[in-house]
Amino acid sequence: MAQIAYVNGAYVRHCDAAVHIEDRGYQFADGIYEACIMIDGRCWDIDGHLERMKRSLDALEIDMPMGRRALMIAMGELVRRNRLRDAFVYLQVTRGVAPRNHPFPKPWTPPALVMTARRFNLDQSDAQAARGVSVISHPDIRWGRVDIKSVGLLPNVLAKEAAVKEGAYEAWLVRDDKVTEGSSTNAWIVDDQGVLITHPKSHEILGGITRETALVCAQELQIKVHERAFALEEAKNATEAFITSATSFVMPVTKIDTTVLGNGKPGPVALRLREAYKAKAREIAGA
């Protein structure tokens, strides 16, 4: 069966799906994206993802391409047409197509919406969590508004590639000796009192939707959280570490650069939080 993509109102064969060469996303990275997971046909953390999508679009003065309800129907339809139950769904909105020129196009052009869906393997993710993953540190050279989920991801791409070259799962980005976040995940550590530490929401990190739900779970589990920046050295001396994202959920980190954390196995706090996150995400999943 051919894979199906959504391009500006049409469901097309993935191999035929295309955007215009003067799409401003292509020429200027003038657009935003969202990435979310559907399990059993229901989207985890959908409210958070759609609210952040709106915030990112508002920050760039791009209109929401369609209403929230219509968008959810289109996402569901895309997943259905691809005959998926568990899926990674990618949404991208750009300022649309116009002759190349830096200012916003005048007259106004409609935003362009593209969506793709592919299979997500929950068992594989759980198996990886049971083993834990390693991360490397990498300089954070990104711009000053990384809270906007912009498609301009070159520093993230370079950091992730550096991680892959080292056989690591993720790169933790370091600015002024502080870990901001991962190249596509939020970064957390656990201190010797069992307190969770993660960078506060600001223009310096992407406010993860998984991070938000994990914070709720931590509160329900009566685990203390300090939202503050932490140094790379502090992370290497931490009891545990983990990352969060829509595709990783809560993923235990067992090694940072050459430093093995604890006994080199996923920590109990991270594993507990992962189970709590999965249960909560399932409970609040949208149609």
What's the min distance (Å) between Cβ of 281 and ligand PDD? 11
Q: How many CB atoms lie within 10 A of CB 238?
A: 22
The Cα 12–Cα 28 span in angstroms is: 25
The reply to whether 254 sits near ligand PDD by the rule CB under 6 A is no
The reply to whether 284 sits near ligand PDD by the rule CB under 6 A is no
What's the min distance (Å) between Cβ of 102 and ligand PDD? 25
The reply to whether 247 sits near ligand PDD by the rule CB under 6 A is yes
Contacting ligand PDD within 197-226 (CB under 6 A): 206, 208-211
User: Per-residue string for binding with ligand PDD, 138-177, x by CB under 6 A?
Assistant: ------------------x---------------------
| Burial zone of 60 (CB within 10 Å; 0-12 exposed, 13-18 middle, 19+ buried) | middle
The reply to whether 186 sits near ligand PDD by the rule CB under 6 A is yes
Q: What are the residues whose beta carbons fall under 8 Å from the beta carbon of 20, sequence distance 6 or more?
A: 26, 97
Task: Decide whether 125 or 184 has the Cβ nearer to ligand PDD.
Answer: 184
149 assigned to active site: yes
Number of chain positions touching ligand PDD (CB under 6 A): 15
The Cα 2–Cα 287 span in angstroms is: 25
Q: List beta partners, residue 92.
A: 33, 114
Catalytic site residue from 54, 106, 149, 280: 149
Task: Decide whether 39 or 237 has the Cβ nearer to ligand PDD.
Answer: 39
What's the min distance (Å) between Cβ of 78 and ligand PDD? 17
What's the min distance (Å) between Cβ of 129 and ligand PDD? 15
Radius of gyration of the chain (CA): 19
The reply to whether 59 sits near ligand PDD by the rule CB under 6 A is no
Q: What is the DSSP letter of 51?
A: H
Q: At what angle do helices 209-220 and 46-60 cross, to 10 degrees?
A: 140
Q: List beta partners, residue 34.
A: 91
Stretch that binds ligand PDD, among 77-85, 126-134, 183-191, 277-285 (CB under 6 A): 183-191
The reply to whether 245 sits near ligand PDD by the rule CB under 6 A is yes
In angstroms, the first-to-last Cα distance of the chain is: 25
The reply to whether 35 sits near ligand PDD by the rule CB under 6 A is yes
**Of 125, 134, 137, 184, the one binding ligand PDD by CB under 6 A:** 184
The Cα 170–Cα 100 span in angstroms is: 35
The Cα 158–Cα 205 span in angstroms is: 17
Residue count (the chain): 287
The Cα 287–Cα 273 span in angstroms is: 24
The Cα 177–Cα 199 span in angstroms is: 13
User: Per-residue string for binding with ligand PDD, 105-134, x by CB under 6 A?
Assistant: ------------------------------
Q: Which residues bind ligand PDD (CB under 6 A)?
A: 35, 156, 181, 184-186, 206, 208-211, 244-247
Catalytic residues: 149
